[in-house]
């Protein structure tokens, strides 16, 4: 449910905004001297290097057990909240689902203003994990929103009214935005998502004050017959095109930069993490093979012009839905006695990479999870030694890592105090196979993977049981210099949130156990934990005001499927999404109790034919699985055990969009009534398969 828009305030006392006469008065000088403003959190990862490390020490390993809830704000949704708030000049700025931004008094939680960009609900179907936003940006009195529908919006930090808005992509293509904008020395840089739906990736820089486009860099080549794009990427598109075959542009190609973008102010380079291919299967995307540049790569461009500087491709021949859009962290490390300016990343494919951020030279890379994709990274070439059995065939087989990621978008942190990088890692296996040539059909605005979800049903069932039994999740502390694990904190399932470290030897993370936990950063010993009723999947942050340090985090479950949650010993329930803010010694504030559990209704009898169920399984995988989970498990909304009322309304919900106000847009442009009947038959079949086990728990 959206918050009401445009709650204006006519006058805000100067004291509310702190010492600066202009709220959110962030500029390059202030960000370069971020440690001199240690009490503030002015950018997505606090600093441009996105280390997510705070110099604050008031809350530390000797007193973290005294933390209490200072204030909280309801976000009026049960959806996943992925954003890290900003705190600038005594105001905390936060963004919820549908890109609704609220400014709070950072001391008390009093709402100062709310801005709702009114994103149409149908855009949720083009975002694989719902209408979430991972953050906002600030520059010279403006707050920037990368809206799901492609608008880049600048609003006044004083009262939240819109200053300007530009449309960053053509809405005739299935793009979306979920990643946070970044501001680098007067330029707002934004990417987009949609590789699964058939688009060509690119990143654009706009003037932060006016919204005028400054440069654009395409991450993969377009149709060569149309000539140059007239953009900053033109100089390297001919080189990239040589690594593609066939008519890849007909299917989009992919390579969207949907999250990580980082800036080095000394080298004046912007680093772009690029995504997977579209379709996933290279056989249909680039039938003659090839590296397919710049899929799953780090591309460095010059900040002023957007022109190419260097690239490093982590996954040549990408066909596993691996993305290199996961968080990047910049740091200076001493490696083999030599000071190196490095870029670090732990992407989906399960390897932790250390690169020279000036040249793109591969320094080291080691796997941090079980890995059937590649045995190692060749030290001389920097290329992976791919397991020949990892390439897709029409016969299903087990694979790990998978599209569910060894590490997903959840932010990681580097502590200069310990020299360790911390991030949520996970082991999830998947049954993968390629569809037969005769069955592949590319449909715009639908997830066109080229992956089969229904062939060899008995083999699939056996393999899926093995996959489910191997699912794991943990908080990993990684030594990037020696490329080895320092320690881990085990969790019962994947799905825990991003991390924060501080000079107080703290390591903070939201957990799949529906808690916020604080550990010692040097050894992982737990210091404090609090029930949050839902999973804080977002990255926590910390700030200081009036001599008091606070820790803030958004709480709200949603994201990639976690199969184990559907067979947990007790039914797993999640509370509403909230912004929670903690400080030492806080008392008297508590979350309201969870609502009572609902009864799981018995499914109807399955009356559909096996042929109809199989057709529904295929359509569900193509159209529904990204939001509702593979095999109808572990998604944003449980579809196996719908109420009789929801089942009765199923056709209207799917075709007519009668619940578009809740993010479920209509699919009449993609699905027929027969298609929806087949999907419903598949869901009834899945419900009958699992209901007895579910109620026996």
Can you tell me the distance from the alpha carbon of 21 to that of 157, in angstroms, rounded to the nearest whole number? Answer: 12
Number of CB atoms found within 10 A of residue 565's CB: 22
DSSP state of 48: T
DSSP SS3 for 17: helix
Region of 173 please: left (phi>0), alpha (psi -120 to 50) or beta.
Answer: beta
DSSP SS3 for 264: strand
Catalytic (active site) residue 291:
no
Structure tokens at 6: 């445009």
Q: Smallest Cα–Cα separation from 273: which of 330, 312, 222?
A: 312
Can you tell me the distance from the alpha carbon of 337 to that of 223, in angstroms, rounded to the nearest whole number? Answer: 47
**Parallel, antiparallel, or unpaired: how do β-strands 86-88 and 202-207 relate?**
unpaired
Q: Smallest Cα–Cα separation from 48: which of 289, 357, 463?
A: 357
566, 634 contact by CB (below 8 A): yes
In DSSP terms, 509 is beta-bridged to 499, 517
343, 352 contact by CB (below 8 A): no
363, 355 contact by CB (below 8 A): yes
Can you tell me the distance from the alpha carbon of 494 to that of 424, in angstroms, rounded to the nearest whole number? Answer: 8
Q: Give the rounded distance of the alpha carbon of 25 from its chain centre.
A: 28
Residues in the chain: 697
Biggest alpha carbon distance in the chain? 70
Burial class of residue 43, CB neighbours in 10 A (0-12, 13-18, 19+)? buried
136, 144 contact by CB (below 8 A): yes
Can you tell me the distance from the alpha carbon of 16 to that of 263, in angstroms, rounded to the nearest whole number? Answer: 31
The active-site residue out of 61, 196, 321, 675 is: 321
How far from 470 is each of 398, 406, 475, 485, CA to CA, in Å? 11, 13, 17, 20
Can you tell me the distance from the alpha carbon of 685 to that of 560, in angstroms, rounded to the nearest whole number? Answer: 23
Q: Give the residue numbers annotated as catalytic, written as ranges.
A: 321
């Amino acid at each position: 449910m959206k918050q009401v828009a445009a709650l204006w305030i006519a006058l805000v006392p100067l004291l509310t905004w702190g010492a600066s006469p202009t709220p959110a008065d962030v500029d390059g000088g202030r960000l370069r001297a971020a440690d001199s403003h240690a009490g503030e959190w002015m950018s997505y990862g606090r600093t441009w290097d996105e280390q997510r490390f705070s110099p604050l020490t008031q809350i530390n390993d000797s007193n973290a057990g005294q933390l209490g809830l200072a204030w909280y704000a309801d976000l009026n949704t049960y959806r996943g909240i992925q954003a890290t708030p900003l705190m600038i000049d005594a105001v905390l700025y936060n963004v919820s689902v549908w890109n609704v931004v609220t400014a709070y008094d950072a001391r008390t939680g009093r709402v100062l203003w709310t801005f709702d960009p009114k994103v149409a609900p149908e855009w949720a179907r083009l975002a694989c994990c719902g209408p979430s936003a991972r953050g906002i940006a600030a520059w010279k009195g403006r707050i920037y929103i990368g809206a799901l529908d492609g608008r880049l919006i600048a609003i006044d930090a004083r009262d939240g009214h819109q200053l300007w808005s530009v449309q960053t992509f053509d809405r005739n293509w299935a793009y979306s935005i979920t990643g946070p904008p970044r501001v680098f020395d007067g330029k707002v840089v934004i990417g987009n998502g949609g590789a699964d739906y058939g688009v060509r990736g690119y990143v654009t820089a706009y003037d932060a004050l006016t919204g005028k486009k400054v440069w654009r860099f395409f991450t993969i080549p377009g149709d060569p017959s149309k000539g140059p794009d007239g953009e900053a990427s033109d100089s390297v598109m001919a080189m990239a095109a040589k690594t593609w075959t066939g008519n890849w542009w007909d299917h989009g190609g992919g390579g969207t930069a949907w999250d990580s973008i980082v800036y080095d102010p000394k080298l004046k380079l912007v680093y772009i993490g690029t995504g997977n291919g579209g379709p996933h299967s290279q056989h249909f995307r680039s039938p003659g093979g090839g590296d397919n540049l710049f899929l799953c790569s780090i591309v460095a461009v010059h900040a002023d012009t957007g022109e190419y500087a260097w690239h490093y491709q982590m996954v040549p021949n990408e066909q596993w839905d691996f993305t290199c859009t996961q968080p990047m962290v910049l740091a200076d490390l001493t490696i083999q006695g030599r000071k190196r300016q490095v870029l670090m990343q732990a992407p989906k494919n399960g390897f932790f990479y250390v690169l020279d951020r000036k040249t793109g030279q591969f320094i080291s890379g080691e796997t941090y999870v079980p890995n059937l994709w590649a045995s190692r990274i060749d030290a001389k070439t920097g290329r992976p030694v791919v397991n020949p059995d990892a390439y897709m065939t029409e016969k299903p087989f087990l694979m790990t890592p998978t599209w569910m990621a060894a590490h997903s978008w959840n932010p990681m942190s580097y502590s200069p105090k310990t020299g360790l990088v911390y991030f949520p890692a996970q082991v999830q296996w998947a049954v993968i196979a390629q569809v037969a040539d005769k069955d592949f059909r590319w449909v715009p605005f639908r997830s066109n993977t080229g992956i089969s979800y229904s062939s060899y049903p008995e083999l699939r069932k056996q393999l899926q049981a093995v996959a489910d039994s191997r699912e794991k999740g943990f908080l990993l502390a990684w030594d990037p210099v020696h490329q080895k694990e320092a320690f881990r904190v085990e969790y019962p399932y994947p799905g825990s949130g991003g991390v924060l470290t501080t000079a107080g030897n703290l390591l903070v993370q939201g957990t799949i156990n529906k808690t916020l936990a604080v550990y010692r950063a040097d050894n992982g010993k737990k210091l404090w934990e609090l029930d949050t009723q839902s999973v804080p999947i977002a990255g926590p942050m910390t700030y200081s005001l009036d001599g008091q340090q606070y820790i803030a985090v958004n709480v709200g479950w949603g994201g990639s499927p976690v199969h184990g949650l559907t067979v947990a010993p007790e039914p797993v329930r999640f509370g509403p999404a909230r912004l929670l803010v903690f400080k030492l010694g806080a008392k008297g504030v508590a979350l309201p109790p969870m609502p009572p559990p609902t009864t799981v209704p018995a499914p109807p009898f399955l009356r559909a034919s096996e042929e109809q169920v199989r057709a529904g399984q295929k359509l569900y995988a193509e159209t529904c699985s990204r939001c509702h989970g593979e095999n109808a498990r572990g998604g944003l909304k449980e579809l196996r055990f719908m109420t009789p009322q929801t089942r009765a309304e199923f056709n209207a919900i799917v075709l007519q969009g009668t619940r578009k106000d809740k993010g479920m847009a209509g699919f009449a442009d993609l699905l027929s009534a027969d298609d929806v009947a087949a999907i419903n038959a598949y869901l009834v079949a899945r419900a009958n398969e699992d209901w007895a086990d579910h109620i026996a728990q």
